[in-house]
Amino acid sequence: MRWLRSCLVLLCLLGAASVQALTPADALALAAGESDARIATLNRLAAAPDEKAVALMQALANGAVKVQGEQVLILADDGSGTDAVTGAAVTPADDAEDAIVNNRIRSALETALAVRDLFRPDPGPQREAAALLQRSAFDEPDASQLPLVEKALAGELDPAARDSLTLTRAAMQLASEDEAQRLAAAQTFAEMGQPALRPLLAKQLEAESSAAVKAALSAALSSLDRSLAVSSALSQAFTGISLGSILLLAALGLAITYGLMGVINMAHGELIMIGAYATWLVQAFFKEALPGLFDWYLLAALPVAFTASALVGAAMERTVIRFLYGRPLETLLATWGISLVLMQGVRTLFGAQNVGVENPSWMSGSVTLLGNLTLPWNRIIIIAFAAAVLIGVTLLITRTRLGLFVRGVTQNRPIASCMGVNTARIDTYAFALGSGIAGLAGCALSQIGNVGPDLGQNYIVDSFMVVVLGGVGQLAGTVYAALGLGILNKLLEGWAGAVLAKIAVLVFIIVFIQKRPQGIFAMKGRSAEA
């Protein structure tokens, strides 16, 4: 019985192979004749292909097929030919005709060859094939290719490839003469809610003759427009929060050096730049010495960027700024000169050209929400990082001995000195802390753009606006001002453009400060009276 069962299985396999094998009639029907008949043969062979059929399809796509009587030949690069069915070598005759491949046949060949990749277990080829089929269906949908797509959807597919193929099927259904198929396509488009579908739906709505399908397409368009409006609003809000988090990182250190210490530090942008260059140097070190750990270089860059900027800030405070406390305009001029020195020093060491800092793999890519709302991972992580830095600074200022000393020196330096506080040391620590936070901002900024000597100049004015608008010496005001300006800026950009949005924000700040000079949050106590 076991021997008989094995023979039956072998016979079934041989029978299946014979059904799927390329025949001379199939080869001739695929290479010559009317387009409809050729496409029907192509779809049938692609649904259950063997290697000879795939080789013939590929040769047709490459324009390397000739028809010689009843025989179909595949040409090699040297001009020699082989029989497409038997594989035997055949010398092409002078009267052999080229197999004509028009645009419709070429599109069908691309579809058939792409469908073959959908049956591979690797998600990469599946996604590429599904994307190719989707583009082809959106450009020129062909309902005759639906059986191939249906067969692929019935198998195991990567989720992204399945979504693309579902849209491909719906686009092909729109080209069907069957009203039920077009209704099903409209329902699919309404459920998917992809922005790229709108032109296709609008085009089909104009050409549609069925009232029922027209109503379904109109409903799908309305649903898509609502989805796009919600996604656009959420995208603008996310972009505004992202910009606000960047402004917060850039201004948080300035809120300490200017808000708490009264130093107008025009070199704050260059401290941000130093943090960014420190990140670039750590990246270069990991590339050379620890390539296997490259994805974790950013974690090592954080303390390096903080330390580098903090040391430069401490040196600035010890050598220049400590002699200028109480004279804000002189600190402005002195730190502006220091900023020029730092920029020129970086140009001398690293060159004037921008350098690129790569994202680790866990910060690359994006997450898609609501079908068409894409949020980049690097922006999401920077928002979380800004929140973590804010929480850390708040706890440091309000819950630690150093924070108590900083607040005491800020509020009343003589009394703090009488209580035994080393005010000179606290000044250095506070300035180094603000400078180190600027270095962390530079580390974050390196993940969303190039790093160059002029990096800090793009953020120094915005940082001062955030600190002044929020209220000098108020960390909570800095947070509200940064997020508010970020969201306001992005909302105005969508309405008036980037340049006019910047001007409008500046006018808003000027008017606000005229009406409320102390900012969003006013300082309380003797420090405010001073």
299 confidence band (pLDDT: 50, 70, 90): very high
Strand order in the sheet with 65-68: 89-90, 81-83, 71-75, 65-68, 97-98
The number of beta carbons lying within 10 Å of the beta carbon of residue 485 is 24
Alpha carbon dihedral 166, 172, 175, 181, in 10-degree steps, equals -50
For residue 24, what are the domain limits?
20-101
Tokens describing residue 283? 């990246």
Q: Is residue 225 part of a domain?
A: no
20-38: pLDDT as tens digits: 578 888 888 888 878 888 8
* 176 and 140 both lie in a single domain: yes
Q: What is the mean pLDDT of the chain?
A: 80
Q: Is residue 269 part of a domain?
A: yes
* 46 and 89 both lie in a single domain: yes
* 96 and 130 both lie in a single domain: no
Residues paired with 367 in a beta bridge: 375
Number of compact structural domains in the chain: 3
CB 84 within 8 A of CB 65: yes
Residue 151: which of 243, 49, 271 has the closest Cα? 49
Q: Which of 101, 127, 145 is the last residue in one of the domains?
A: 101
Helix (H) or strand (E) holding 57: helix 51-62
Q: Is residue 466 part of a domain?
A: yes
Q: Is residue 229 part of a domain?
A: no
d(CA 212, CA 186) in angstroms, rounded, equals 10
Give the pLDDT confidence score for residue 314 in this predicted structure.
92
CB 309 within 8 A of CB 346: no
* 314 and 266 both lie in a single domain: yes
Average pLDDT (291-305) is 91
AA letter at 217: L
9 confidence band (pLDDT: 50, 70, 90): very low
The pLDDT of residue 163 is above 60: yes
* 307 and 456 both lie in a single domain: yes
What single DSSP character describes residue 89?
A: E
Tokens describing residue 382? 């920077």
Most confident of 135-144, 261-270, 388-397: 388-397
Q: Is residue 518 part of a domain?
A: yes
Please state which of the ranges 67-76, 219-228, 443-452 shows the lowest mean pLDDT.
219-228
463-522: pLDDT as tens digits: 888 887 877 666 777 888 888 888 887 777 767 776 777 777 778 777 877 777 666 765
* 160 and 305 both lie in a single domain: no
* 367 and 514 both lie in a single domain: yes
> Beta 65-68 vs 366-369: how paired, if at all?
unpaired
Q: Which of 101, 130, 153 is the last residue in one of the domains?
A: 101
Helix (H) or strand (E) holding 501: helix 498-515
372 confidence band (pLDDT: 50, 70, 90): low
Residue 305 CB contacts under 8 Å (≥ 6 apart), including other chains? 274, 275, 276, 278, 279, 282, 439, 440, 442, 443
Please state which of the ranges 248-262, 353-367, 373-387 shows the lowest mean pLDDT.
248-262
413-419 contact pairs (CB < 8 A, 24+): none
> With pLDDT > 70 as the criterion, what percentage of the chain qualifies?
90
Strands (E), 362-503: 366-369, 373-376
SS3 string, 379-431, reads HHHHHHHHHHHHHHHHHHHHHCHHHHHHHHHHHCHHHHHHCCCCHHHHHHHHH
Q: Is residue 350 part of a domain?
A: no
Alpha helices in 75-210 (DSSP H): 103-118, 123-139, 146-153, 159-174, 179-192, 198-207
174-214: pLDDT as tens digits: 777 788 888 888 787 777 767 667 777 787 778 777 888 88
pTM over 0.75: no
**DSSP labels, 125-141:** HHHHHHHHHHHHHHHS-
What single DSSP character describes residue 97?
A: E
Residue appearing with tokens 């894409």: 374
d(CA 166, CA 160) in angstroms, rounded, equals 10
Higher-confidence position of 477 and 524: 477
* 416 and 474 both lie in a single domain: yes
* 458 and 521 both lie in a single domain: yes
d(CA 498, CA 484) in angstroms, rounded, equals 16
Q: Is residue 485 part of a domain?
A: yes
What single DSSP character describes residue 92?
A: P
* 366 and 509 both lie in a single domain: yes
SS3 string, 370-381, reads CCCEEEEHHHHH
Give the pLDDT confidence score for residue 415 in this predicted structure.
85
Give the CB-side neighbour count of residue 92, counting CA atoms within 13 A. 20
d(CA 442, CA 307) in angstroms, rounded, equals 12
Q: Is residue 441 part of a domain?
A: yes
* 26 and 57 both lie in a single domain: yes
* 367 and 503 both lie in a single domain: yes
d(CA 401, CA 407) in angstroms, rounded, equals 10
CB 99 within 8 A of CB 66: yes
